[in-house]
Every structure is written in C-alpha cells, then in structure tokens.
Amino acid sequence: MTKLTGGKRCPLLVDAHDAGAQDRAARSEFARRGDLVSAVAVLAATPLSRMTGNFFIAVSKPMAPTKLFDDESSALAWLREFMT
C-alpha cells in the first residue's frame, strides 16, 4: 500500500466475499494498519461473516475506523467521508 499511495493514508475497501478464515497474525496485522489507511469498509457476504467481522472489530479495536457493509455503494459512500 505504501508504494500505491506514496505513503499517504487513504480509505480502503475490502471485498471479503471469497475470503476464508484468517489466522490471528493476519487479523492483528489488519487491525494495526492505521498508519496506512484512514478508514476500512469491509463487504461481508453472509450474516455469519458480518457477525464474525463485528466481533473482530469490537475485540481488536482497529486503529482506523472500520465498518462492515452489505453493498459496495454504501461502503464507498462511507469511505468518501475519509478522503483527504
């Protein structure tokens, strides 16, 4: 991301529709990336993935604002609030 953004913090859209289970190290890395992202919108595919995602957000307390969405248009609208 640093190469893509030139080191500038920016919003991030994550499409988790085809994502499998993430191990603890991956979840920790994701939560601490506030130095690279201003906000994270995650597209969740199922009610179970939304429940798991909300639990992860509550427990890990990501450095950047993080929110789950059902649809891309809502996620992008929320991310626009974090454009600099």
HSE-CB for 52 with a 13 A CA cutoff: 13
Query: Where are the domains positioned within the chain?
Result: 2-80
- Superfamily the domain 2-80 falls into: yp_829618.1 like domains (3.40.970.30)
1-56 per-position pLDDT tens digit: 778 878 788 898 988 766 555 556 655 555 566 678 889 999 988 888 888 888 88
What's the pTM? 0.77
Residue 76 near residue 12 (C-beta atoms within 8 A): no
The burial of 62, by beta-carbon neighbours within 10 Å (0-12 exposed, 13-18 middle, 19 or more buried), is given as middle
